Amino acid sequence: MNEAAMQRGLPIGIGLGLSIGAALGVALGAAMGNMAFMGIGPAMGLGFGIALAPAFGKAMIEQDKAKTKTEDGPNEG
């Protein structure tokens, strides 16, 4: 389940991590007045996104299972 969750959640984890990291890098660079920090944000965000990928994947798998269960109906069998 963990490998499947990782594979399922990796695209959204990477995308979310990069976008949040880019925003963090721009904010940090603007606050410090040094735009060299813009490259640090996505690098930090990517790590967090990859770390959270299994959680995203597990939630997506559970949502698909719940959707399949309601589509089949309670009296299936």
pLDDT digits (tens, 9 = 90+) for 21-49: 888 888 888 888 888 778 888 888 888 89
- pTM value is 0.70
Q: What is the pLDDT of residues 51-61, one digit of tens each?
A: 999 999 999 99
Mention every residue, 6+ apart, whose C-beta is less than 8 A from residue 57: 4, 5, 6, 7, 8, 9, 10, 13
Give burial (CB, 10 Å; 0-12/13-18/19+) of 41. buried
